[in-house]
Amino acid sequence: MDWGMLAQAGLWGIVAASSLLLGALLGVLLRLPQRVVAALMAYGSGVLIAALCFEQIPEALRLGGLAPTLWGLLAGGLCFVAANEWLERQERHQRGREAGGQSHMAGLLIAAGAFLDGIPESVGLGLGLLDGGQVSLMLLVAIFLSNLPEGLASAAGLRAEGRSRRYVFRLWGGIVLLSGIAAMAGPGLFAGLSPHWLAVALGFSAGAVLCMLVDAMIPEAFAETHALTGLITLTGFMTALALDKAI
């Protein structure tokens, strides 16, 4: 096992997820309008879509062809939707308990949701190091930008619930570290496997991220930015396209 590659993957995973802490800091110190947060979310979604289109999916197709890529996409989407549905049921159940005077778990549920969103992104980031490859700069920027509004909105909500600043930063700091571990899982689990299975893994990551965008980020953005959501998302996509050509 190449420990240097694992350490590098973990470092890049932490760098990409560090915007969660930056967003949390902004959420604690500033009171940005919800429309601004939603616009950042839509912009990050556009960048992530471009990263899937220009980086992950083409690389999966190059490694294993169409069938493994499609199977990976489907498996990733199904896993994310199932896990997200389970988490939402737990959140609804917890809200009912809190209404009856039970203990709070909202912070842990928010953290679990953020980690669920970040797993496929971080794994995909780490997978780029396999076969002598490099971390995708576009994917790195996309993850950083998409995490920023999530950390901002969630930290503001936690502060509104009366959580301390220390609680907020410890919570999101833990998520950043877990994201680094998830990035290490990419090369750690798939190193030495055939290109066929690497294509499945990349497809899995891309499918999960795409479902996350459609199920979570874009609807949340649309709730605030409405008709402008498409244009803001398009702007993020165009930025990533320009970055891809510049690289």
Tens-digit pLDDT profile for residues 10-19? 999 999 999 8
Q: Is the pLDDT of residue 103 over 50?
A: no
Q: What is the pTM of this model?
A: 0.82
- Check pLDDT > 60 for residue 1: no
% of residues, the chain, pLDDT over 70: 88
Question: Which of 186, 205, 188, 181 has the alpha carbon at shortest distance from 14?
Answer: 181
- What is the rounded average pLDDT for all residues in the chain? 83
Between CA 107 and CA 157 the distance in angstroms is 9
- pLDDT average, residue stretch 199-213: 90
Of 29-33, 93-97, 139-143, 187-191, least confident by mean pLDDT is 93-97
Mean pLDDT within 142-156 = 79
Which residue is it, tokens 């997978």?
127
Which pLDDT score is estimated for 44? Answer: 86
List, for residues 44-92, the tens digit of each pLDDT value.
899 889 989 988 899 899 989 999 999 999 999 999 999 888 888 877 7
Contact 204, 73 (CB under 8 A): yes
In this structure, are residues 54 and 145 in contact, taking their beta carbons and an 8 Å threshold?
A: no
